[in-house]
Amino acid sequence: MYEYFLFLLILIPFIILSAWASSKVNSTYAKYNGVPNMSRMTGYDTAVRLLRNNGINDITVNRIRGRLTDHFHPTKRQVNLSESTYGSASVAAVAVAAHEIGHVMQKARGYVPYKLRSALVPVASIGSRLAMPLILVGIILDIIFFATPNNIGVWFMLAGIGFYAMSMLFILVTLPVEFNASRRAKKMLLQEGILDEREIKGAEKVLSAAAMTYVASMLVSLVYFLRYLFIVLSYTRRK
């Protein structure tokens, strides 16, 4: 019980950080979504122009529901812009659109962290969900088959830790991918004259706030990983 409360005490600050980061990105986006850019280009205009001027002709730009649901879908070869980005001619909208094109350029240029993150997607998508069930199954099996020499329960527990570790690696690799996409976005926006030197500061604030959500997510995931690892190590030590 003591360990559980200690875990909560460690986790709560990171949950607060995650909530703050989410609030920050929403408030920063709202602020600069009310600032029209001098070029009067919308998020859609920006995405299409950056793709064309970088020689990318096989990616479509689509409008999807929601706010800040923008993403690049590499297998479908689509840049999907949210309703808040697609038709808006604000500093925030073009920053977000350019960020997604940054991901397109990462794929096109063979950016190594992007390739690694893409390779980790299948495992990461199930890793965090399977970790705790595998650990619990391992403990149950270890109790049932306590006398067996194969330690089947321990192997299940280690598999759970391994799955979550892969999920953690995915989140860790995501950080340089997102920061790099933002750097590419700022560079392209200035080179194409979509934003000027004054406006790019607002774009930087939007992209930096968005990046903080990934940092907070990584910290929360790290705490959970250490928690799962502690459960397994404590259990095997008591044995």
User: From CA 143, how far away is CA 201, in angstroms rounded?
Assistant: 59
For residues 106 and 114, the answer to whether their CB atoms sit within 8 Å is: yes
Top pLDDT among 118 and 135 is at: 118
Mean pLDDT of 170-183: 92
Residue 132 pLDDT: 62
Top pLDDT among 152 and 200 is at: 200
Other CB atoms closer than 10 Å to residue 12's CB: what's the count?
A: 11
User: From CA 91, how far away is CA 99, in angstroms rounded?
Assistant: 12
User: From CA 154, how far away is CA 138, in angstroms rounded?
Assistant: 6
Mean pLDDT of 103-124: 90
Residue with tokens 């030590």: 237
Strand, helix or coil at 195? coil
Top pLDDT among 109 and 234 is at: 109
DSSP element (H, E) containing 59: none
Task: Look up residue 192 and give its DSSP letter.
Answer: T
Residues in contact with 191: Cβ distance below 8 Å, sequence separation at least 6, in sequence order: none
pLDDT (tens digit per residue) in 24-36: 988 999 999 999 9
Q: Is the per-residue pLDDT at 6 higher than 80?
A: no
Top pLDDT among 143 and 205 is at: 205
pLDDT (tens digit per residue) in 73-95: 999 999 999 999 999 999 999 99
Q: Is the per-residue pLDDT at 9 higher than 90?
A: no
Task: Look up residue 149 and give its DSSP letter.
Answer: T
Half-sphere exposure of 230 (CA within 13 A, CB side): 11
Q: Is the per-residue pLDDT at 199 higher than 90?
A: yes
Domain positions in the chain:
14-238
pLDDT (tens digit per residue) in 94-105: 999 999 999 999
The amino acid occupying position 34 is: G
For residues 65 and 115, the answer to whether their CB atoms sit within 8 Å is: no
**Annotation says 100 is catalytic:** yes
From the candidates 3, 83, 100, 197, give the one annotated as an active-site residue.
Answer: 100
User: From CA 153, how far away is CA 15, in angstroms rounded?
Assistant: 32
